[in-house]
Amino acid sequence: MCNFLYSIVNAPRAFYALRAFLATLLLMIISSCQGSSNHLLYLESQGVGGYSSQEDKAVWYSKTPEDTMQKPSAGFDYIQKLSGETGDFGSVAIQARLGYDDEEGNFEPQLYNAYIKYKSEGTDFWIGHNRPALGLSSYFDSHALLLTTLAMNGFGFDRDWGLGAYREFSWGNAAASVTTGSGMPIYFKNNYLASARVSKGSLNQDNYNLGFSAAYGETLTTMGYHLMMDGEPELFAMAGVDMAYLWDNFEARWEIMAGRNKDEEAFAIFGRVGVNLLDEGRLKLEFQPIVSKIGDDENYEISAGTSYMLNGDLTLRAMYDYDHNTDDHKIIFQIYYYKKL
């Protein structure tokens, strides 16, 4: 496992200038490999494939060939607690995998979580690669799912490099972050993104969470580890409101964002409704529309998905997705394995 980590860290295409930072994390993990009980290690693997009407052939990805969204892959999820005489004061998290690149015909390293978290007087501070404080994507981890979010459609980033803080209150929570605004890769081209989100309610206690977000910066357009457009940062100034709600075995999420994206007027509307069936909600059915506009580029996407949990380690998922701009109908299947070692 430690040798695998070493190869991930030294993949130049994926991590560029952060090798020194990741090498520091690697030393911490190597120390835990010697028998420490203060860590959690999970094996994560998935098979992904389906059919695209636009390509008129089988595809081995859930969104696009360039994106890091679901592809056949294998990797790990590692969490190391940091403890002292007074108890736990932080943690180190690394979540990485090798994903199959259908265009290149090889496997590329993918890094999701790679951060150090420090706890101080009720506030969590983090530095590294984590979720920026913008919208529902900052509240939910969707990295393994087939259905996309606004962050995966150009309105923010699912993961970004930088630093941030998070704090729970009796009425809800608040988060803030300053990141590179480049997403999965890291670039320094005068790009940055400052974000903040304040929310009321807790899903676990109140069955709802209502959030207000704002972000401002000069961001890069990336897809996966690929730098798109002309490679220059553009204005990103967005504000939004989001809500997640649970009722009996039903759940709903929605999000609205508006402002400027890529230095053009933009807005996006996201909705997702789902129902959990069978014992412990092992079967889930979901429906999701997304409407977006950036400048003259208008689009809508309609998706429907289902997931069935075979056991605590293995989940089957399927998705139908229609993208209006590309007139593409996709049917995608996923078998997802996540097991504690």
Residue with tokens 């420490």: 36
CB 47 within 8 A of CB 334: yes
CATH number for the domain whose boundaries are 2-340: 2.40.160.10
Distances (CA, A) of 192 to 19, 24, 129, 189: 20, 24, 14, 9
pLDDT value for 250: 97
**Is pLDDT of 8 > 90?**
no
Least confident of 38-52, 87-101, 164-178: 87-101
Computed from CA positions of residues 286, 143, 226, 258, in that sequence, does the dihedral angle turn out positive or negative? positive
Q: What is the mean pLDDT of the chain?
A: 89
Residues linked to residue 204 through DSSP beta bridges, in sequence order: none
Name the region of 224 (left: φ>0; alpha: ψ -120 to 50; beta: rest). Answer: left
Q: Identify which of 304, 301, 311 has the alpha carbon closest to the alpha carbon of residue 336.
A: 311
CB 96 within 8 A of CB 75: yes
Residue 210: pLDDT band by 50, 70, 90 thresholds?
very high
- Cα angle at 284 between 280 and 290, to 5 degrees? 140
Distances (CA, A) of 105 to 216, 228, 234: 37, 21, 32
pLDDT value for 231: 80
**Is pLDDT of 167 > 90?**
yes
pLDDT in tens, 258-283: 999 999 999 999 999 999 999 988 99
**Is pLDDT of 170 > 70?**
yes
Q: What percent of the chain has pLDDT over 70?
A: 89
**Is pLDDT of 154 > 60?**
yes
Q: Helices in the chain by DSSP H: which ranges?
A: 2-9, 12-15, 19-32, 203-206
Q: Residues 157-163: what's their mean pLDDT?
A: 96
